[in-house]
Amino acid sequence: MESLAITIKKKWYRICEKLLEIKAEPKKVALGYSLGVFLGTTPFIGAKAVIALILTSIFKWNKVASVIGVFHFNLFTAPPFYGFAFLVGQWVLGSELVFHFPDTMSFKAVYSAFLGNSIIFFNLLIGGIILGVPMALAAYWISYKILTRLIPKQG
């Protein structure tokens, strides 16, 4: 079994390769990527990529990079991140909500968990924004440095 450090390193190289393959201005790629990372931290499950494409079209940033940023949060990374975002949102909002995981997982249980109690959504949203802003800033800075150092200057 691979160690966590090796897995993270491989994922990091894949992200760098994907961003370096994009033929566009590094600043627009980095901005699109950071927007995608930020949107990935929000609880708009199923709509994040669409929102990323709309916003990058408006701002004229890189669409591909934004979708790459959104999809960092996947089946494996989302549960621990959103659990932590929920706790941060709960702490900031001061909500006294206690979530009891249903005995049987069904569509109705998931529906009632997210839409039956709106404070869950707001806890996830506020926690995601609080955690997402520094993550997006770091994503911009790191991706911009990678792109400007590894892509040969044109001209």
Q: Is residue 8 part of a domain?
A: no
Tell me which of 29-33, 40-44, 55-59 is least confident: 40-44
Asked if residues 26 and 144 have their Cβ atoms less than 8 Å apart, the reply is yes
Q: What is the pTM of this model?
A: 0.80
Whether 42 has a pLDDT exceeding 60, the answer reads yes
In three-state secondary structure terms, 7 is: helix
Range of the domain at 125: 24-150
To which residue do tokens 């201005």 refer? 25
**CB-CB neighbours of 11 under 10 Å:** 12
Q: Is residue 130 part of a domain?
A: yes
Whether 155 has a pLDDT exceeding 50, the answer reads no
Q: Report the number of distinct structural domains present in the chain.
A: 1
Q: Is residue 6 part of a domain?
A: no
Q: Is residue 134 part of a domain?
A: yes
Q: Is residue 98 part of a domain?
A: yes
pLDDT for position 18 = 84
Calculate Rg over the CA atoms of the chain: 18
Asked if residues 140 and 148 have their Cβ atoms less than 8 Å apart, the reply is no
Q: Provide the token pair at 154.
A: 């044109």
Q: Is residue 17 part of a domain?
A: no
pLDDT band (50, 70, 90) for residue 140: very high
pLDDT band (50, 70, 90) for residue 73: confident
Q: Is residue 97 part of a domain?
A: yes
Residue with the larger pLDDT of the pair 79 and 42: 42
